[in-house]
Structure 1
Amino acid sequence: MIKLASLTVFAVALGATGLQAADSPWLVRVRAVSIQPANKSDAIPALAVPADAIHVSNKTIPEVDFSYFFTPQFSAELILTVPQQHDVTLSGTKIGTFKHLPPVLSAQYHFLPDATFNPYLGAGLNLTLISDVDIKVPGVGALDLSKSSVGLSAQAGVDIKVADRLYLNLDVKYVKLGADVKLAATGTKVSAVQLDPMLFGVGLGYRF
């Protein structure tokens, strides 16, 4: 009887451990993300610069995100990367570079948490930190950008189960992101750019 009770306790413990592992709230993804800015900018009449003449280059970056599941349907996702450098052009001519760090925190709803094909929608907040601005316009001098931008984000994606705990992820985000363009010497605003990038991601996720 004692042996039977011991075996029963052991079996229950194994079952609980297995259930806990299967229901782990953490999902970590590694993605390659293509950043494609909208490149809308104000005209600068004093410099004869037309609207939408300031462009920021597209770029593909590595990204890691961490998701925590409060329930099988609801989760929070934080995406992280390292500062990324972009080229800046004015009417097609390169005028410099800058770096930005764009973490995004999103709340997500997963429609089919127990299915192989699990689509989700998300909405959240982006904080972009801008640094290492090196932009110069001939005849005007050095330009500077706002040091930070806060904006809303929207997201749609799908996790496709390919093995136990392993998922193929496809994801697209829209991020509201803007910056003032200023004369570096005086801080006078001369224009504003609305980057508002689309982020297209593909990667792998692991559920712990």
Structure 2
Amino acid sequence: MLNLKKSLILAIVMVLTANTYAVQKGDWIIRGGLTNIAPQDNTGGVVTVDSKTNLTATIAYLVTDNIGVEVLLGLPFKHDINSGGVKVGEGTHLPPTLTAQYYFNETKAGFRPYVGVGYNYTFFLEDKITITSGGLAGGHLKMGNSTGFAYQLGFDLEISEGYGINLDIRRFNIENKAHITNIASPMEFNVALDPTTIGLSLYKEF
């Protein structure tokens, strides 16, 4: 058992300190995987939005050995909107984001953590009221688009030459204005989603 632990520790050290393929100025990094987006509850439980997981991809370009620019893309996220524990509607959105990144460690390091700050544009593709009884039944829901800052923390871990795995955590500032019409008393209110996302991806360096 002791030898197994020593071997595991040695393997981890070798991965983290190995002189591997150099990602440097002028290189591209393409990542693709799954991301879970978890909106915050900023209404005291009056309105909640559930978390969802979907496919995402990023394209990053190294402007210098340590500074990169990244674009976040992905498939639409479809969320259930709940009130009082009951589903009342649905919202489908895309959150494309442009991010400036700083990569730590040397370019030949097999483990490269990074931080980033970016700007997000969230637009809703489809929103609707789904409840069929009560005061909201038959209403029309419209979620406004929004812009805001996004903050990022992640790392790349190379597992073979030019290939590796990526873990990415982001926090978005997303505040939308929601409109519900075609009901007895039309409503307009702010929805501060401010989601946290966690993504796990594979990547390829070019």
Fold conserved between structures, TM > 0.5: yes
Q: Between Structure 1 and Structure 2, how many residues are aligned?
A: 181
1:6-54 deviation digits (Å, cap 9, x = unpaired): xxxxxxxxxxxxx99986511100121111110213xxxxxxxxx4311
Match 2:202 to one of 201, 204, 207? 204
1:88 Cα deviation (Å)?
0.7
**In the alignment, which residue of structure 2 is the partner of 1:139?**
135
Which residue does the alignment assign to 2:65? Answer: 72
User: RMSD over aligned Cα, in angstroms?
Assistant: 2.3
Residue 146 (structure 2) aligns with: 149
Q: CA–CA distance in 2 between the matches of 1:167 and 1:173?
A: 20
Checking the alignment, whether the CA contact within 8 Å between 2:27 and 2:61 is kept in structure 1 is yes
Corresponding residue for residue 156 of structure 2: 159
1:171 pairs with one of 168, 172, 181: 168
Q: Which amino acid aligns with 2:119?
A: L
Where do 5+ consecutive residues of structure 1 fail to align?
1-18, 42-50
The TM-score, its normalising length taken from structure 2, stands at 0.80
| Aligned pairs for 1:16-31 within 5 A | 25-31=27-33
Name structure 2 gaps, 5 residues minimum: 1-20
Structure 1 pair 74–182 and aligned structure 2 pair: CA distance change class (3 A): same
Question: Contact (CA 8 Å) 1:98, 1:135: kept in 2 or not?
Answer: no
8 A Cα contact 1:31 1:62, kept in partner: yes
Alignment TM-score, normalising by the size of structure 1:
0.80
Residue 185 of structure 1 is aligned with which of 179, 182, 199? 182
Please point out which of 31, 34, 44 is paired with 1:32: 34
What's the CA shift for 1:86?
A: 0.9
Counterpart CA distance in 1 for 2:186 and 2:70 is 37
Match of residue 15 from structure 1 = none
Distance change >3 Å, CA 114–CA 86, structure 1 → 2: same
Cα distance change of structure 1 residues 22 and 125 upon mapping to structure 2, 3 Å threshold: closer
Amino acid in the other structure paired with 2:83:
L
Instruction: Give 1:143 deviation, angstroms.
Output: 4.5
Report how far residue 183 of structure 1 moved. 2.3
Task: Report if aligned partners of 1:100, 1:129 keep a CA contact under 8 Å in 2.
Answer: yes
Match of residue 92 from structure 1: 85
